[in-house]
Structure 1
Amino acid sequence: MAILAGKAVVITGAGQGLGRAFATHAAAEGAAVVINDVNEPLAKQVADLITLQGGKAVVSAGSVSDPDQAEAVVDTCTAAFGRIDGLVNNAGIRYQAEIGQDDPASMRELIEINVLGTLYCTNAAVRSMRGGSIVNLGSVAMAGQPTALTYSASKGAVASITAGAAAELHERGIRVNAVCPVAWTRMAAADTRAKPSGPPETIAPLVTYLLSDRAAKVTGQLIRFANGQLHVMVQTSPKEPVLENAAWDVDAIAEAFEQRLEPEDPAWVRWGVGR
């Protein structure tokens, strides 16, 4: 039996790139899919392709930065398929800009789509979900990337959303994870430092797995999937030793760093630059 048979899934930003790959793969594995995108003709093309191949798909066009649209995409799923079992918060944008040269309007637009869109859709979906899975699109950019400060901030927020939602929704049987992929998409091409990588279709099996019941024990994870490598990323935690002192002055703090604390290389040094 197909791994997603009987499940209804919403995928945002599914008109092209990663979202399209996620939607077609999920549908091939038995899911009924709601295709969301700001570009309605592209969304309809994906839905038509899925239908032509014997799957089930409907369109809910509009921007997830609009909370009413977030509600509408969930309502479309429950109206068309009678339920919602999964949500993939894939919709997002990226651009490059040096600090000090960034455009406030562009910054606001990115945060509204990448962060508020994820929050709005999650907020709407959990009201109708009875168990199931939410998959967010994260990025190692959360560690900080040159000329992508706003994008990095948005993905740091997505990591926090993932951890917080997973903890809160655990008792309701709703799993929440984030995928941090590298694939050659239109968005990746906007990153002047990005190296060519595999097509979006290489990432889709991981998302399908996370949407499925086979991933029942996987929640609250940031999962890196890039160029054939799969690993779970460590989230923020203290590094030993944890020093205690009755009173800390500048000299004591300086001595701690000079003699006892060994700061880690910044995460962006360890992980490098990637989506």
Structure 2
Amino acid sequence: MAILAGKAVVVTGAGQGLGRAFATHAAHNGAAVVINDVDERLAKQVADLITLQGGKAVVSPGPVQDPEQAQAAVDTCTAAFGRIDGLVNNAGIRYQAELGQDDPARMRELIEINVLGTLYCTNAAVQSMRRGSIVNLGSVAMVGQPAAVAYSASKGAIASITAGAAAELQEKGIRVNAVCPIASTRMSVADTKAVPSGPPETIAPLVTYLLSDHAAKITGQLIRFANGALHVMGQTSPKGPVLENDEWDVDSIAEAFERQLEPEDPAWVRWGVAR
């Protein structure tokens, strides 16, 4: 039996790129899929392709940063397929801009799509999802990427959303994970520091796995998948030693840093140019 047989899944931003690959791979593995995208023409093309290949797909066009459109995508799924078992929060944008030269309107648009879109779709989905899986799109840029600070901030938020939602929804049987991929898409083309990468289809099996019952014990994870390398990323944690003092002043704090507290290399240093 196909790994996602009997499941109904919403994929946002599924008109092209990673979203298209996730939707078609899920459908090929038995899922009924709602194709969400701001471009209705592209969304319909993906749905038609899935249907032509014997799968089930319907379209729910609209921007996920509009809470009504986020709710509509979920409602379309339950109306068409009688349930919702999975949500892939793929819709997102990125661009390169140095601080001091960035456009506030562009910053706002990015945060609304990447962060609020994920929140709105998740909030809508869990109202109808009895058990299931939510897969968010993260990025190693969450550790901080020069000339993409707004994007980095949005992906830091995705990491927090993933961890918080996983903890909150665990008792309801809803798993929440994030994938941090590298693939050749429109967004990677816009990144002047992008490293060579494979097509979006190379990432799709990971998302299908996380949507499936085979991943029943996997939740709250940030999973890196790039150029054939798969690994789980560590979450933020304290670094020892932890110093205690009844009263701290500037001099004692300075001494602590000079003699006992060893600053850690920033994550973007450890990763090279963060992605």
Give the shorter-chain TM-score range: over 0.9
Does residue 1:69 correspond to 2:69, yes or no?
Answer: yes
Conserved 8 A contact 1:194-1:273: no
Query: 1:272 is matched with which residue?
Result: 272
Tell me by how many angstroms 1:273 deviates.
Answer: 3.1
Give me the whole-angstrom Cα distance separating, in 2, the residues matched to 1:273 and 1:93. Answer: 19
Give me the whole-angstrom Cα distance separating, in 2, the residues matched to 1:223 and 1:268. Answer: 17
Alignment identity in percent? 86
Give me the whole-angstrom Cα distance separating, in 2, the residues matched to 1:128 and 1:274. Answer: 37
Q: TM-score, normalised by structure 1?
A: 0.99
Tell me by how many angstroms 1:251 deviates.
Answer: 1.6
Query: 2:125 is matched with which residue?
Result: 125
Q: TM-score, normalised by structure 2?
A: 0.99
Conserved 8 A contact 1:12-1:35: yes
User: 1:80-121 deviations in whole A, cap 9, x for unaligned?
Assistant: 000000000000000111101110110111011000000000
Q: Which moved more, 1:258-267 or 1:17-26?
A: 258-267
Conserved 8 A contact 1:140-1:273: no
Give me the whole-angstrom Cα distance separating, in 1, the residues matched to 2:233 and 2:240. Answer: 18
Query: 1:150 is matched with which residue?
Result: 150
Tell me by how many angstroms 1:72 deviates.
Answer: 0.3
Instruction: Tell me the amino acid that sits aligned with residue 116 of structure 1.
Output: L
Matches within 5 A, 1:242-253: 242-253=242-253
Query: 1:32 is matched with which residue?
Result: 32
Tell me by how many angstroms 1:269 deviates.
Answer: 1.2
Query: 1:102 is matched with which residue?
Result: 102
Conserved 8 A contact 2:176-2:219: yes
Give me the whole-angstrom Cα distance separating, in 2, the residues matched to 1:144 and 1:245. Answer: 32
Conserved 8 A contact 1:177-1:220: yes
Conserved 8 A contact 1:35-1:43: yes
* Cα RMSD after superposing both structures: 0.8
Secondary structure of the residue that 2:125 maps to in structure 1?
A: helix
Secondary structure of the residue that 1:176 maps to in structure 2?
A: strand
Give me the whole-angstrom Cα distance separating, in 2, the residues matched to 1:273 and 1:174. Answer: 34
Question: Gaps (5+ residues) in structure 1?
Answer: none
Give me the whole-angstrom Cα distance separating, in 1, the residues matched to 2:84 and 2:34. Answer: 10
Question: Gaps (5+ residues) in structure 2?
Answer: none
Aligned residues: 275
Conserved 8 A contact 2:143-2:274: no
Does residue 1:85 correspond to 2:85, yes or no?
Answer: yes
Tell me by how many angstroms 1:247 deviates.
Answer: 1.1
Give me the whole-angstrom Cα distance separating, in 1, the residues matched to 2:272 and 2:11. Answer: 28
Secondary structure of the residue that 2:128 maps to in structure 1?
A: coil
Query: 1:231 is matched with which residue?
Result: 231
Tell me by how many angstroms 1:274 deviates.
Answer: 5.0
Give me the whole-angstrom Cα distance separating, in 1, the residues matched to 2:249 and 2:226. Answer: 45
Conserved 8 A contact 2:144-2:274: no
